[in-house]
């Protein structure tokens, strides 16, 4: 018989308190037990074993509770941390006994349409440990380890346990571990700040938290989140190094068997974490059979350029299309206002589509080689009927993508909406930019039409700090495309960085649709920036961290074909930055854009791979660069 939710939640609280505060007696019928059983899982690359993470899973024989720790080369990454899940019918966080173990090697190759690296190779060791309670309730703990991370998930193989009431999952860090946390918000736009693990204020934080221990850096993350479960955040009490998993729902409905999302720990040195595709590697394979229509690219975004008024004007939008075509930028995005009359159109009116000038704009843009992306509120795609009205219409008009806004939830019901919109947009060949949204969590591998997601305190914010901007490449942007919308040169005084840093953000931040947020006038006033933006792609063959320290500096190199693009951002006082050119051997032409006394300045020099070069950085400044092979006669990397 189902347990009422209020009663079940009360039972969960009592059960968790008992699990944490008492010790259960040894179970009857056992031989003299050992203090614990333990199993280890490491990455598959034996030649690099000392540098790979090692997960250790332990079963306490006195309580029947599981814990998991992670180390690298014998050094601490994650201290022993509780593992378990509680349902209406079974508490699978204690009183467990071991059944059996199964191991396998996971090897996969796949290509993506966007991201820090288009071609991916996956090698992971997987261990499945099966446990049961005395009453016969079964829990499988599946652990994977690769060269750049460890992850685990819970599998309830038999079902029949009722709703999930919570997890006892947590991550124990050394109290003095350096910590970068983003305050949790429903739209995932919290600003990142630095603490130690113990001194972070009591509260809730985004699950994309970065820690530095003697075993290296570790980014907590999640993968394969769908409407079968609930989104996670971290709950913390000041004074401890423990960060607990808290679900968005008090009860997660299940229809039977369940595999939860992966609790992932991306780990290694800072370069390894930054370059990692671990959360994508954990996710299911692509559900789009023919992705040929999915094309990343740079976008002229008109919201910060012209606001709602621009969205209501066909004349203004044609002018933006003209500018994008002149610059060779493949897309123009029309934001809020284009389909509003008072609040929203009456889509029950069979003639509602004929009121829009959007088909005329799409035809106009198509003739100039520019694709149109349109903004739409989530409430207008909330039901199957609304999606059946909107999405075929947008496809028929020739719209290339939709920017869907204001989900602002990771509750199970909203995640089920994501499941539906992902299938529907794929069927109607519409790329997606999610705003007011969840964060990637593997979604871009499974649904490659998802080109980017906001889930970040981006360019629209007026409270960002330079430290926040230099933390994002090591936190939010590690796990997937990030629609920060750089390039808003006109917002002088409303952004914390310099013009050269703003140019550098277009490379330092990866996004499958890289939305440029400036005005045509601001670009024309900065011809060096404009020329660089003309070169920037939105899909990358490789990514490398050249220099970095979260909150202080981030210099990334991204390769497209035979050219490397550089983006550097800094916080703090003006200084001379030293940058290693670790992009390969041989001789390279390096063209950089920096801040000068009277505006942007371009420098050129020829260097050998591995050399270091200096860049003069203003306070909270940065730089951008373009690098190509040099031989006599090569005078520029620009094309």
Residue 209 burial by CB count (10 A; 0-12/13-18/19+): exposed, middle or buried?
buried
Full strand arrangement of the beta sheet holding 297-301: 450-453, 431-434, 401-405, 371-377, 331-334, 297-301, 513-516
CB atoms within 10 A of CB 18: 14
Closest among 488, 463, 434, 464 to 304, alpha carbons compared: 488
With H, G, I as helix, E, B as strand and everything else as coil, classify residue 453: strand
Question: Which candidate in 36, 126, 419, 460 is catalytic?
Answer: 460
With H, G, I as helix, E, B as strand and everything else as coil, classify residue 399: coil
CB 474 within 8 A of CB 550: yes
Let me know if 460 is a catalytic residue. yes
Question: Which candidate in 167, 405, 483, 502 is catalytic?
Answer: 405
CB 627 within 8 A of CB 564: yes
What six digits make up the tokens of 317? 């939008």
Non-local CB neighbours of 290 within 8 Å, separated by 6+ positions: none
Let me know if 616 is a catalytic residue. no
H or E segment to which residue 96 belongs: strand 96-111
CA dist 382 to 226, 296, 307, 457, Å? 17, 26, 25, 25
With H, G, I as helix, E, B as strand and everything else as coil, classify residue 16: helix
CB 179 within 8 A of CB 195: yes
**Given the structure tokens 């990397």, which residue do they identify?**
637
CB 77 within 8 A of CB 213: yes
Non-local CB neighbours of 553 within 8 Å, separated by 6+ positions: 470, 547, 568, 569, 570, 571, 577
Closest among 475, 496, 464 to 205, alpha carbons compared: 475
Give the whole-angstrom CA distance, residue 559 versus residue 549.
22
**Given the structure tokens 């070169």, which residue do they identify?**
535
Which DSSP symbol is given to 482? Answer: B
Report the relative pairing of strands 575-580 and 622-629 from DSSP bridges.
unpaired
Q: Please give the positions annotated as active site.
A: 405, 460
């Amino acid at each position: 018989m189902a347990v009422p939710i209020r009663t079940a939640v009360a039972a969960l609280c009592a059960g968790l308190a008992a699990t944490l505060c008492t010790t259960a007696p040894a179970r009857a019928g056992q031989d003299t037990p050992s203090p614990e059983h333990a199993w280890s899982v490491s990455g598959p690359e034996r030649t690099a074993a000392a540098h790979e993470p090692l997960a250790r899973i332990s079963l306490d024989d006195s309580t029947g509770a599981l814990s998991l720790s992670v180390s690298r080369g014998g050094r601490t990454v994650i201290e022993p941390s509780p593992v378990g899940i509680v349902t209406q019918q079974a508490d699978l966080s204690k009183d467990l006994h071991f059944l059996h173990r199964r191991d396998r090697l996971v090897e996969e190759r796949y290509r993506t349409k966007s991201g820090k690296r288009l071609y991916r190779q996956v090698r992971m060791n997987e261990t499945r440990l099966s446990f049961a309670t005395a009453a016969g309730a079964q829990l499988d703990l599946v652990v994977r380890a690769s060269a750049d991370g460890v992850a685990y998930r819970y599998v309830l193989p038999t079902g029949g346990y009722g709703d999930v009431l919570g997890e006892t999952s947590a991550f124990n860090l050394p109290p003095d571990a350096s910590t970068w946390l983003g305050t949790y918000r429903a739209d995932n736009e919290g600003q990142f700040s630095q603490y130690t693990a113990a001194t972070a204020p009591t509260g809730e934080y985004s699950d994309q938290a970065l820690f530095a221990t003697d075993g290296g850096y570790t980014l907590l993350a999640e993968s394969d989140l769908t409407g079968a479960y609930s989104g996670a955040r971290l709950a913390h009490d000041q004074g401890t190094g423990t960060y607990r998993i808290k679900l968005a729902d008090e009860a997660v409905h299940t229809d039977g068997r369940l595999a939860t999302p992966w609790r992932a720990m991306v780990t290694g040195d800072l370069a390894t974490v930054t370059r990692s595709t671990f959360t994508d590697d954990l996710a299911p394979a692509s559900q789009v059979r023919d992705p040929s229509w999915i094309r990343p690219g740079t976008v002229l975004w008109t919201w910060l350029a012209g606001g709602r008024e621009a969205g209501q004007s066909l004349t203004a939008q044609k002018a933006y299309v003209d500018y994008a075509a002149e610059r060779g930028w493949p897309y123009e995005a029309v934001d809020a206002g284009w389909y509003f009359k008072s609040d929203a159109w009456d889509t029950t009116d069979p003639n509602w589509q004929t009121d829009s000038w959007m088909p005329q704009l799409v035809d106009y843009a198509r003739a100039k080689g520019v694709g149109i992306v349109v903004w739409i509120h989530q409430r207008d795609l909330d039901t199957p009927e609304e999606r059946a009205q909107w999405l075929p219409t947008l496809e028929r008009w020739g719209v290339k993508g939709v920017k869907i806004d204001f989900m602002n939830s990771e509750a199970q019901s909203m995640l089920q909406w994501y499941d539906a919109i992902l299938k529907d947009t794929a069927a109607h060949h519409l790329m997606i930019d999610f705003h007011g949204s969840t964060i990637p969590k593997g979604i871009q591998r499974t649904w490659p039409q998802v080109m980017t997601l906001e889930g970040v305190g981006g360019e629209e914010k007026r409270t960002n700090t330079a430290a926040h901007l230099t933390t994002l490449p090591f936190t939010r942007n590690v796990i997937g495309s990030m629609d920060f919308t750089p390039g808003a040169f006109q917002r002088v005084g409303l952004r914390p960085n310099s013009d050269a840093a703003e140019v550098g953000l277009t490379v330092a931040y990866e996004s499958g649709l890289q939305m440029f947020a400036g005005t045509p006038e601001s670009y024309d006033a900065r011809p060096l920036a404009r020329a660089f933006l003309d070169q920037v792609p939105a899909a990358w063959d490789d990514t490398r961290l050249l220099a970095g320290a979260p909150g202080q500096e981030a210099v990334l190199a991204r390769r497209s074909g035979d050219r490397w693009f550089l983006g550097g951002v800094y916080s703090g006082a003006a200084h001379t930055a030293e940058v290693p050119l670790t992009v390969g051997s041989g001789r390279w032409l390096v063209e950089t854009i920096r801040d000068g006394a009277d505006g942007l300045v371009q420098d050129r020099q020829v260097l050998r791979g591995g050399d270091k070069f200096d860049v003069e950085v203003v306070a909270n400044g940065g730089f951008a660069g373009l690098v190509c092979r040099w031989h006599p006669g090569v005078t520029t990397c620009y094309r």
